A = this chain, B = another copy of it.
Amino acid sequence: MSQSYSLKQIAEFLGAKVQGDSAAKISGLGTLSSASSQDLAFVSNPKYIDQLAETRAGAVILASALADKYQGNCLLVDDAYLSYAKISAWFDKTPEAEEGIHPSACIDSSAVIGDRVSIGPNVVIEAHTKVGKCSVIKANTVIGGRSEIGENALIAANVTIYHDVRIGDRVTIHSGAVIGADGFGFAPNGDKGWQKISQIGGVVIGNDVEIGASTTVDRGAINDTQIGNHVILDNHVQIAHNAIIGDNCAMAAYAGVAGSTVLGKNCILAAGAHVVGHASLCDNVQLMAHTLIFKDIKQPGSYSSAAMPPMATADWLKNSVRMGQLNDIALRLKKLEKNQNN
Q: Which residues on A are within 8 Å of B, measured CB to CB?
A: 28-31, 34, 79, 81-82, 84-86, 88-89, 91-95, 102, 104, 106, 120-122, 124, 126-127, 138-140, 142, 144-146, 156-160, 162-164, 172, 174-178, 181-182, 184-189, 192-198, 200, 208, 210, 212-214, 216, 218, 222-223, 229-230, 232, 234-236, 238, 240, 247-248, 250, 252-254, 256, 258, 271-272, 274, 276, 286-295, 297, 301-327, 329-330, 332-333, 336-337, 339-340
Contacts and interface: CB of A to CB of B under 8 A. Distances in A.
A197 B186 CA distance: 38
B337 A326 contact: no
25 contacts: A82-B189, A85-B189, A88-B198, A93-B200, A176-B214, A182-B210, A193-B230, A194-B250, A235-B238, A236-B236, A236-B256, A271-B274, A274-B289, A289-B292, A290-B290, A291-B307, A292-B306, A295-B310, A302-B313, A304-B310, A304-B313, A309-B324, A319-B324, A323-B323, A339-B340
A150 B287 CA distance: 41
Contact of A307 (B30, B79, B301, B307): B307
A266 to B, nearest CB: 9
A326 B319 contact: yes
A290 B289 contact: no
Given A89-B198, A95-B163, A315 B308 contact: no
Contacts of A272: 272, 274, 292
A121 to B, nearest CB: 4
A84 B232 CA distance: 34
A190 B74 CA distance: 24
Contacts of A92: 198, 200
Contacts of A313: 286, 288, 301-304
Contacts of A320: 304, 306, 308-309
A178 B214 contact: yes
Contact of A212 (B138, B181, B288, B336): B181
B122 A106 contact: yes
Nearest to A286: B313
Interface residues of chain A: helix, strand, loop or mixed (majority): loop
Contact of A160 (B157, B248, B316): B157
Contact of A195 (B82, B156, B315): B82
A329 B327 CA distance: 11
A122 B160 CA distance: 14
A333 B323 contact: no
Contacts of A91: 198, 200
Given A93-B200, A174-B178, A309-B323, 14 more contacts: A82-B189, A104-B104, A106-B122, A176-B214, A178-B235, A236-B236, A274-B290, A288-B313, A307-B307, A308-B323, A308-B324, A318-B327, A322-B329, A339-B340
Contacts of A30: 222
B213 A181 contact: yes
A248 B192 CA distance: 8
Contacts of A276: 271, 289
